[in-house]
């Protein structure tokens, strides 16, 4: 029998969301425009999403009631700065109320400052690769300081910048008429966008620290968990470096580093391999591989030694909640083993709190809580109670 592992004092135990995926009506964002541009990757628009812009109190009530102690959510740049240099005091006040609401419910808020979406005007001027993007991001963070300046202990500057850089390449390929498959063979990240995001992260850390020195800052990376076949170690390292390691290297010396892991990528002598034919797949088409989390933590610790780690996303897209519990138990077992081996992990956030808009479609259900698309009624799944209970017991649920 697996021995009970108690969560360390101060260990973060929560669930994550992203503004565009749950709020609804994010009409001023580049993704809203992208969703209405008849691109094959987009199966349906986000529309009302989960209507969490209005129902965030209910979401937080559920998470707190389930036992979670932490909640990671993002603020939407397109709402706060709808036009260049024009800031919405109402939007800033809205997100400030969310921070205060979380605290009132006993939830510690982790605020993500950028989660994939940009204001339309920012993308129209060239996005991250355009000159001065880091200055514009810093200007936004300065204006948004009332949101995070008090009652927030952790701020994530940019979510999955390595995927943002991949998306920059993909958008260019789509515009040129090339077919793109993220699930099977995502393109390499855009180099200029990579460099710009690293600059923007450094500038964001500097900005947040200057305005709120107590806030612990870091960024969250999509860990690819590249596993080489025998003899393909150098190929795997070459494949991984521009897609992950260069971003991990940029996190050295940060207050913390966010680790996000879902599956693995097998690498052969010729490069990336498809998912094995006999493997179980999730609704994303990814291999069911819960041990990915432990691998991701160990690799992140090896590339950014001394930087504390926080699991900011981990979960599974499935319609079978028993598989969600089984997957998460396996992932948490690999996390516990990494911690037993001395890896400095400070928290775990499950993806996602809610079934939400998964960047082009609603079919992949990652949520601990189901959401009716018409009535917006929230229904916690058994996995939500199972996972949330650890917040009260402070014991890691490593088996169902």
Ranges of each domain in the chain: 5-222+239-263+289-396
Phi, psi dihedrals of residue 210, rounded to the nearest 5°: -70, -30
Token pair, residue 365, equals 């259900």
Residue 332's pLDDT is: 97
DSSP strand pairing (154-159 vs 395-396):
unpaired
Residue 334 has pLDDT above 50, yes or no: yes
Phi, psi dihedrals of residue 378, rounded to the nearest 5°: -95, 135
Return the higher-pLDDT residue of 189 and 2. 189
User: Is-contact 147 74, C-beta < 8 A?
Assistant: no
Token pair, residue 250, equals 């940029």
User: Is-contact 351 314, C-beta < 8 A?
Assistant: yes
The domain 5-222+239-263+289-396 is placed in CATH, from the list 3.40.50.300, 3.30.40.10, 3.30.1370.140, 3.20.20.80, at 3.20.20.80
DSSP strand pairing (12-16 vs 108-112):
unpaired
Dist. CA 322–CA 305, nearest whole Å: 36
**Weakest mean pLDDT among 39-48, 234-243, 301-310, 315-324:** 39-48
Residue 2 has pLDDT above 90, yes or no: no
Query: Which residue's entry shows tokens 């808009």?
Result: 357
Residue 57's pLDDT is: 98
Q: Report the pLDDT averaged over residues 337-357.
A: 98
Q: Report the pLDDT averaged over residues 348-373.
A: 98
Q: For the whole model, what pTM was predicted? A: 0.97
Token pair, residue 291, equals 């041990």
Dist. CA 300–CA 308, nearest whole Å: 10
Beta bridge partner(s), residue 271:
268
Query: Which residue's entry shows tokens 């601990």?
Result: 368
Token pair, residue 42, equals 């987009």
Q: Report the pLDDT averaged over residues 367-396.
A: 97
Q: How many residues does the chain have?
A: 400
Residue 1 has pLDDT above 50, yes or no: no
Dist. CA 261–CA 351, nearest whole Å: 10
Beta-carbon contacts of residue 384 (< 8 Å; ≥ 6 apart): 62, 66, 368, 369
Dist. CA 29–CA 25, nearest whole Å: 9
Element spanning 89, H or E? helix 89-104
Q: Give the percent of the chain with pLDDT over 70.
A: 96
């Amino acid at each position: 029998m697996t021995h009970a592992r108690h969560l360390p004092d101060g260990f973060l135990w929560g669930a994550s969301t992203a503004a565009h995926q749950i709020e609804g009506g994010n009409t001023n964002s580049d993704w809203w425009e992208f969703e209405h541009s008849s691109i094959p990757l987009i199966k349906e628009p986000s529309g009302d999403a989960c209507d969490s812009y209005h129902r965030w109190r209910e979401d937080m009530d559920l998470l707190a009631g389930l036992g979670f102690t932490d909640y990671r959510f993002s603020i939407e740049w397109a709402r706060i700065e709808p036009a260049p240099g024009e800031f919405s005091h109402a939007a800033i006040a809205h997100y400030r109320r969310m921070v205060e609401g979380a605290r009132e419910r006993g939830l510690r808020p982790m605020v993500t400052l950028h989660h994939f979406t940009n204001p339309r005007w920012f993308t129209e001027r060239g996005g991250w690769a355009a000159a001065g993007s880091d200055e514009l991001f810093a200007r936004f963070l300065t204006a948004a300081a009332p949101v995070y300046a008090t009652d927030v202990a952790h701020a994530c500057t940019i979510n999955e910048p390595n995927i943002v850089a991949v998306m920059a390449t993909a958008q260019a390929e789509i515009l040129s008429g090339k077919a793109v498959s993220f699930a099977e063979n995502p393109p390499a990240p855009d180099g200029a966008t990579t460099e710009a995001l690293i600059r923007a992260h450094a500038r964001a850390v500097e900005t947040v620290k200057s305005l709120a020195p107590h806030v612990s800052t870091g960024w969250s990376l999509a860990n690819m968990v590249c596993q080489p076949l025998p003899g393909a170690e150098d190929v795997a390292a070459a494949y991984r470096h521009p897609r992950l390691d260069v971003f991990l290297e940029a996190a050295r010396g940060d207050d913390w580093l966010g680790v996000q892991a879902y599956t693995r990528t097998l690498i052969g002598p010729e490069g990336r391999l498809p998912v094995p034919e006999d493997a179980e797949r999730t609704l994303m088409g990814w291999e069911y591989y819960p041990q990915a989390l432990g691998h991701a933590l160990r690799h992140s610790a090896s590339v950014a030694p001394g930087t504390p780690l926080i699991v900011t996303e981990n979960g599974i897209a499935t319609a079978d909640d028993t598989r969600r519990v089984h997957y998460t138990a396996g992932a948490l077992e690999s996390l516990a083993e990494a911690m037993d081996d001395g890896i400095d992990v400070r928290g775990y956030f499950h993806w996602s709190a809610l079934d939400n808009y998964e960047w082009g479609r609603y079919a992949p259900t990652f949520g601990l809580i189901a959401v009716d698309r018409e009535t917006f009624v929230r229904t916690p799944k058994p996995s939500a109670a199972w996972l949330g209970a650890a917040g009260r017991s402070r014991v890691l649920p490593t088996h169902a």
